[in-house]
Structure 1
Amino acid sequence: MKIFSEELVAKAVEELHIADLKRATIGEVLLVAQYLEQKTGIPFIRMDQGSPGLPVNRYGVEAEKAALDRGVGSQYPAAAGVPELKYEASRFVKAFLNVDISARACVPTVGSVAGSYGSFIACTQCTPGKNKVLFIDPGFPIQKSQLRVIGAEWEEFDIYNYRGEALRGKLEQMLSKGDVAAIVYSNPNNPAWICLEEQELKIIGELATKYDVIVMEDLAYFCMDFRHDLGHPFEPPYPPTVARYTDNYILMLSSSKIFSYAGQRMALTCISDKLFDRHYPALAERYKDAGVFGQTLIASILYMITSGCTASTQYAYAEMLRLSTEGKINFVEDTREYAIRAERMKKIFTDNGFHIVYDNDVTQRVGDGFFFTIGYGGLSGGDLLTELLYYGVSSISLSTTGSEQQGVRACTSRMRDDLYDTLAERMKAFMEDHPLE
């Protein structure tokens, strides 16, 4: 039995001016869920927005308060970032990735959204004729919206059928045209939680070098592949990264998930030293500067977007990175709760007729973590999103992420212990109302 009537959901869509519920954005689905909760008082199972669902890291809070007490708020922060954060970022990357990036090439940004926005601008303006971004999907819908803002074009493909060595042929096909400036993916993946393996990253790195393409590796869920014993500073195993296979890379790290520091909007764009120092005549001509990639990105692009990053938050991030590198914070254990939630939620769904859409990596099954993907029978992603809303469960269609598979993305972050029984009851009702053949 449905909890919310089709008429009430349709009214919400109309009043919120949502053009197409089946292709609704994260923000639009969020608004529908809030509307229905407010109108009825019935709580939703919120699987839509990927906002952290754990307490904020207290060490960051204390460090930020101390920085404010020292008076850092009275001065503009340097565009390149405060030295303390840049130093700790370089150490952190070495400690947890075993990759060497100098402090000067570790640049704070106002969230990874600002980091990707600035990087897209720089990458698509480096070389005349190379103005497209290639998305290895599924991915984060906002990044394509950023390209719409700057007027850049993109290509995309769903990696579902191109895992392992099959990735090489597909990338060769896309890159050989010569118009791709950058490749983008997240690892672990938002929304599918698949993880690109060393073999695949080696392919990406080799072809990035061959075709002179910059790889933007989004590490928002850093070390959150809980199938492996990651997160021990200066000790293997280390997470896989394209940085081992090319010099053409930008790593995007964020404080939002691993430290639950999302409200302060703080991230890092870590650029390989060779790319940071590379001279591009097209950048020099456009910005009337030296045309050096790193300095142009910092002074001529990122500064125009946010004018630097909040000084006190930079000190907070620096402290959390420092304590992690020294082994005094275990951010992997701090975030393992998401895997526990995912395992419980997946079982409820699969016990009631659902299936996991992206269920395998190359050599093992997809792990449990911040996101997972579910499908049901022959329902399209848009239809499943809509039907789940009637049962008080919010999600986003995989079609909005560049996926060609049918299903929805589920986020574990808002799940609470008191909601598992509710979810089970609602999904039992869903299965009864949608019998599978």
Structure 2
Amino acid sequence: MKKKPEWGFKENQELHAAAAFTIRNILEAIMGNIDESRTGKTMIHLGHGDPSVYPCFRTTTIVQDALIESIRSAKFNCYPDGVGIDVARRAIAKYLSRDLPYLLSSDDVFLTVGANHAIEVLLTVLARPGANILFPKPNYPIYEARARFSELEVRHYDLLPDQGWDVDLDGVKALADENTVAIVLINPGNPCGNVFSSEHMKKIAETARELEIMVIADEVYAHQVYGPKPFIPMGVFGDIAPVVTLGSLSKRWIVPGCRFGWIALTDPAGILQQTGIGACLKSCLTISADPPTIIQGAIPSIIENTSKSFFLNINKLLKEAADLFYEALKEIPLVTCPYKPEGSMFAMVKLNISAFDDIVDDTDFCMKLTKEEAMILFPGDAVGLKNWVRVSIGTEKKVLEDAIARLKEFCIRHTKTN
């Protein structure tokens, strides 16, 4: 037999390109600059939204007890249905219904391996040749990464920093056409730390109805608010336009490693079921991964038994961090935070690049900050805003104070001296 000149397989370059969008890959590249022995400083990681390593942000013992009981019961060692086990779906439906003017059933809920998996499933379901989807700018990077593997054309609408990161609705209308399928809305905001008002959300729903598209409401940080505006789920306006809600256990319960999320059809008119979206979600999940059944079995207890005081304490800690960071930033040259965080655990900070002596852009800023101060921030270019940085404020007070001091020293050191 004639020998083949080379192997029949080779690396998937498209996969590399998609992975370049992910937070993990970007942070890995930045962290490669850390040399704690050279700087004499321990690493401060404000590049991702995972405060679980800090004692003040540890999850409730309710989560631990529920997981132990789920294991010991021996009821949840089986394969689950693709959409999730019924007791967990009912618990999530009941949980979401608390904030809605209508009741969800378990048939409206589809369980996923965290919110990233939910995004993957939804983009798969909506993809078809010629279709397009509207993403915010700035955006959560995994949307961009997953879209590269779908047939959806991506179009970006602006969030307006001088208007509290509200949606540029005129821009949305200009972008959409007859092939637009959905608009993605992240509230509370990642990466901006904003919270949409009820009035603004109603306008978004009315715009979606006018354009005849669905709203994908990414509410991973639901109820994690600490400013003047309360959290209002987009599903409240589901009678105006159909809404698909994404949620997760990760952030509110501070357990990102549990990898448990959901997709909910918050659509009282039933448009998403009538158009086959519900059936398509079920089909997609049938051939996809499932959250561990052990975790699914623990969900009813976690949802029902976690005290309000736990959530109030988490929000109190985040508010204190937001207040500290926002005020301290005013004393640091060449950086500005145009909007004080009110929700999630992030702030977007603008860099005055032209006033730095030897900083080329936001990525260069983050690389040099890591090398000189052993401190990690996330470059804004990766979320769609060049020459900004995203800062996670979900950390202990003393760590945040140290981070602010390091940031100030770095900015002063690199300021142009005319």
Give the secondary-structure state (helix, strand or coil) at the position aligned to 2:34: helix
Match of 2:389 among 408, 425, 435: 408
Percent identical pairs in the alignment equals 17
- CA distance in structure 2 between the aligned counterparts of 1:166 and 1:262, rounded to whole angstroms: 28
- CA distance in structure 2 between the aligned counterparts of 1:171 and 1:367, rounded to whole angstroms: 24
Corresponding residue of 1:256: 250
| Pairwise CA distance, 1:229 | 7.8
Corresponding residue of 1:169: 170
| Pairwise CA distance, 1:146 | 0.5
Corresponding residue of 2:79: 76
Corresponding residue of 1:305: 288
Query: Structure 1 residues 243-252 or 27-36, which shifts more?
Result: 27-36
TM alignment of 1:14-413, pairs within 5 A: 25-30=23-28, 32-33=30-31, 36-37=34-35, 40=38, 42-53=41-52, 54-125=57-128, 129=130, 131-160=131-160, 163=163, 167-175=168-176, 177-228=177-228, 239-241=232-234, 243-245=236-238, 246-273=240-267, 274-279=270-275, 292-298=276-282, 300-306=283-289, 308-323=290-305, 330-359=310-339, 366-367=341-342, 369-378=344-353, 380-389=361-370, 390-403=372-385, 406-413=387-394
| Pairwise CA distance, 1:354 | 4.8
| Pairwise CA distance, 1:367 | 2.4
Which structure is higher in RCO with an 8 Å CA cutoff and minimum separation 6? 1
Q: Which runs of 5+ in 1 are unaligned?
A: 1-17, 231-237, 280-291, 360-364
- CA distance in structure 2 between the aligned counterparts of 1:242 and 1:357, rounded to whole angstroms: 30
Give the secondary-structure state (helix, strand or coil) at the position aligned to 1:154: strand
- What is the one-letter code of the residue matched to 1:60? V
TM-score scaled by structure 1?
A: 0.79
**Once superposed, what is the RMSD of the aligned Cα atoms?**
3.0
Q: Is the 8 A contact 2:225 2:342 kept in 1?
A: yes
Q: Which runs of 5+ in 2 are unaligned?
A: 1-15, 355-360
> What are the superposed Cα offsets for residues 127-168 of structure 1, whole Å, 9 maximum, x if unpaired?
x74x21110221110111001123432100221269599833
1:25/1:208 CA distance change after superposition, 3 Å: same
Q: When the two structures are aligned, how many residues end up with a matched partner?
A: 384
TM-score scaled by structure 2?
A: 0.82
| Pairwise CA distance, 1:193 | 0.9
- CA distance in structure 2 between the aligned counterparts of 1:140 and 1:342, rounded to whole angstroms: 20
Q: Is the 8 A contact 1:47 1:412 kept in 2?
A: yes
| Pairwise CA distance, 1:50 | 1.6
- What is the one-letter code of the residue matched to 1:383? D
| Pairwise CA distance, 1:242 | 5.2
- CA distance in structure 2 between the aligned counterparts of 1:323 and 1:98, rounded to whole angstroms: 23
| Pairwise CA distance, 1:317 | 2.5
Runs ≥4 in structure 1, deviation > 4 angstroms?
22-26, 37-41, 161-166, 327-330
> What are the superposed Cα offsets for residues 176-228 of structure 1, whole Å, 9 maximum, x if unpaired?
x2121111121111111122222322222112222221211111111122114
- What is the one-letter code of the residue matched to 1:412? I
Q: Is the 8 A contact 1:320 1:329 kept in 2?
A: no
Give the secondary-structure state (helix, strand or coil) at the position aligned to 1:315: helix
Give the secondary-structure state (helix, strand or coil) at the position aligned to 1:74: coil
- CA distance in structure 1 between the aligned counterparts of 2:194 and 2:278, rounded to whole angstroms: 31
1:243/1:381 CA distance change after superposition, 3 Å: farther
